[in-house]
């Protein structure tokens, strides 16, 4: 059976891996906001240094970071091209009715840099934090808002169960597909409508089985005394250490740098 990996988590034991997931989520969030504070190239020095240091500390090879960018190449390129041609100003080059301006080139590069930093920043979070830890972090961060009706525990439980059953359902899809193919079903040829039609005999049994599983799981959870988040304890409790404090201090410097670059210089 091929291994199914969810998300892009790369197990490890670096400082970045060890940080509390709440720390990482909050810092990633701050990092994203700060990227939008910056308004000139010089300002990017701060997040660049920040992400570079964090990446080195995480010991995650650049290969994986780049892999995170790949699916978004189109968006990055589109951002660049649109900025390049749409912004009016001093013309540098003309192709037919289109013209490239100096301002367009500046703005395009600026936006691309921002996008890349955004993606690399969030990748670093998902590369160094397992989905389950991430879920715990989100639950813990949302907990204070459960008084105003945010279903923190329920959301986390849903994410956990989804993560748990994705591989199971994928295996099952594989099995049904092979069974249908053995009976002459064809999933790979024909136009898009035809292909969608061919998916029906795959999806119907898959849905039926998923509902059955949901039913069974609910019964099993109930008999293991599950009754929602109230009075529930956790085996692994999240704990912040001096490493987390250090990370927040570093983020403080990042924030100071970004804000200074925008408002002082």
Residue 130 burial (10 A CB sphere; 0-12, 13-18, 19+): middle
Q: What's the burial of 87, exposed, middle or buried (CB within 10 Å: 0-12/13-18/19+)?
A: middle
Find the shortest distance in angstroms from Cβ 231 to other proteins: 5
> Where on the chain is the footprint of other proteins (CB under 8 A)?
1, 3-4, 131-132, 160-161, 163-164, 167-168, 171, 212-213, 216-217, 219-227, 231-237
Compute the residue count for the chain.
265
Shortest distance (Å) from residue 183 CB to other proteins: 24
Output the smallest distance, CB 133 to other proteins, in A. 10
Q: Which is nearer to other proteins, 6 or 116 (CB)?
A: 6
Give the 3-state secondary structure of residue 95. Answer: strand
Residue 94 or 230 with smaller CB distance to other proteins: 230
By beta-carbon proximity to other proteins, the closer residue of 127 and 254 is: 127
Shorter beta-carbon distance to other proteins: residue 107 or 135: 135
Q: Which is nearer to other proteins, 36 or 211 (CB)?
A: 211
> Smallest gap, in angstroms, from Cβ of residue 1 to other proteins?
8
Residue 211 burial (CB < 10 Å; 0-12/13-18/19+)? exposed
Q: Smaller CB distance to other proteins: residue 235 or 264? A: 235
**Rounded Cα–Cα distance for residues 235 and 93 (Å):** 63
Contacts of 100 (CB under 8 A, 6+ apart): 84, 85, 91, 92, 93, 94
Q: Say how far apart CA 249 and CA 243 lie, in whole Å.
A: 10
| CB of residue 167 to other proteins, shortest distance in Å | 4
In whole angstroms, what separates CA 28 from the centre of its chain? 11
| CB 84 to other proteins: min, Å | 44
Q: How many CA atoms lie within 13 A of 133 on its CB side?
A: 21
């Amino acid at each position: 059976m091929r291994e199914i990996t969810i998300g892009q988590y790369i197990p490890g034991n670096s400082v970045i891996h060890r940080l509390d997931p709440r720390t990482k989520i909050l810092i990633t969030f701050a990092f994203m906001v700060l990227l939008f504070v910056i308004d000139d190239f010089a300002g990017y020095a701060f997040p660049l240094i920040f992400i570079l240091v964090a990446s080195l500390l995480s010991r995650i090879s650049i290969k994986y970071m780049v892999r995170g960018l790949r699916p978004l190449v189109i968006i990055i390129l589109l951002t660049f091209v649109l900025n390049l041609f749409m912004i009016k100003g001093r013309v540098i080059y003309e192709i037919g009715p289109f013209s490239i301006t100096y301002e367009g080139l500046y703005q395009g590069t600026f936006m691309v840099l921002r996008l890349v930093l955004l993606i690399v920043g969030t990748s670093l979070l998902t590369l160094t934090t397992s989905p389950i830890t991430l879920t715990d972090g989100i639950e813990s961060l949302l907990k204070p808002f459960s008084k105003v009706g945010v279903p923190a525990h329920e959301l986390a439980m849903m994410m956990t169960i989804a993560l748990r059953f994705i591989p199971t359902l994928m295996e099952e899809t594989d099995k049904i597909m092979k069974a249908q193919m053995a009976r002459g079903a064809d999933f790979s040829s024909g136009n898009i409508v035809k292909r969608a039609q061919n998916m029906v005999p795959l999806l119907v049994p898959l849905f039926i089985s998923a509902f059955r599983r949901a039913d069974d799981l609910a019964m099993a959870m109930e008999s293991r005394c599950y009754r929602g988040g109230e009075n529930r304890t956790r085996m692994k409790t999240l704990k912040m250490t001096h490493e987390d404090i250090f990370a927040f201090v570093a983020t403080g410097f990042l924030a100071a740098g970004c804000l200074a670059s925008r408002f002082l210089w």
